[in-house]
Amino acid sequence: MSRPEQWERSAQVDDSPNLPDWLQPVAEAARGMHVDDITRFAPEHGQGRPAAVLVLFGDTPDLLLIQRAHDLRSHSGQPAFPGGAVEPQDDGPRAAAVREAVEETGVDARGIEVFGQLPDLSLPVTGYVVTPVLAWWRQPSAVFAADPREVMSVHRVAIADLVNPENRCRIRHPSGYVGPAFLVQNMVVWGFTAGIIAGILERAGWAQPWDASRVIPLDVGA
What pLDDT digit, counting tens, does each position of 82-107 carry? Answer: 999 999 999 999 999 999 999 999 99
- Does residue 217 sit within a domain? no
Residue 4: per-residue pLDDT: 57
Residue 183: per-residue pLDDT: 97
- Does residue 64 sit within a domain? yes
**pLDDT band (50, 70, 90) for residue 196:** very high
The answer to whether residues 57 and 136 touch, using CB atoms and an 8 Å cutoff, is yes
User: In CATH, what number is assigned to the domain containing residue 94?
Assistant: 3.90.79.10
Amino acid at 81: F
**Single pTM value for the model:** 0.93
- Does residue 173 sit within a domain? no
Residue 37: per-residue pLDDT: 86
pLDDT tens figures, 139-191: 999 999 998 999 999 999 999 999 999 999 999 999 888 999 999 999 999 99
- Does residue 103 sit within a domain? yes
CB-based burial label for 100 (10 Å; 0-12, 13-18, 19+): buried
Residue 124: per-residue pLDDT: 84
In three-state secondary structure terms, 197 is helix
Domain range for residue 52?
12-158
Lowest mean pLDDT among 20-34, 67-81, 151-165: 67-81
Amino acid at 62: D
Residue 217: per-residue pLDDT: 95
More confident residue, 24 or 72: 24
The answer to whether residues 58 and 100 touch, using CB atoms and an 8 Å cutoff, is no
pLDDT at 12 over 60: yes
Residue 38: per-residue pLDDT: 87
Burial 48-84 (b: 16+ CB within 10 A, else e): bebbbbbbbbbeebbbbbbbbbeeeeebebbbbbbbb
Q: How far apart are CA 163 and CA 198, in angstroms?
A: 9
Q: Looking at the chain, how many residues does it have?
A: 222
- Does residue 108 sit within a domain? yes
Q: What is the tally of structural domains in the chain?
A: 1
Crossing angle for the helix pair 191-203 and 24-31, to the nearest 10 degrees: 100
- Does residue 38 sit within a domain? yes
The torsion angles phi and psi of 159, rounded to 5 degrees, stand at -60, -35
More confident residue, 202 or 125: 202
The torsion angles phi and psi of 139, rounded to 5 degrees, stand at -130, 90
pLDDT at 116 over 80: yes
Count CB neighbours of 1 within 10 A. 16
Residue 41: per-residue pLDDT: 81
- Does residue 147 sit within a domain? yes
The contacts of residue 39 (CB under 8 Å, 6+ apart) are: 121, 122, 192, 195
The answer to whether residues 49 and 129 touch, using CB atoms and an 8 Å cutoff, is yes
- Does residue 142 sit within a domain? yes
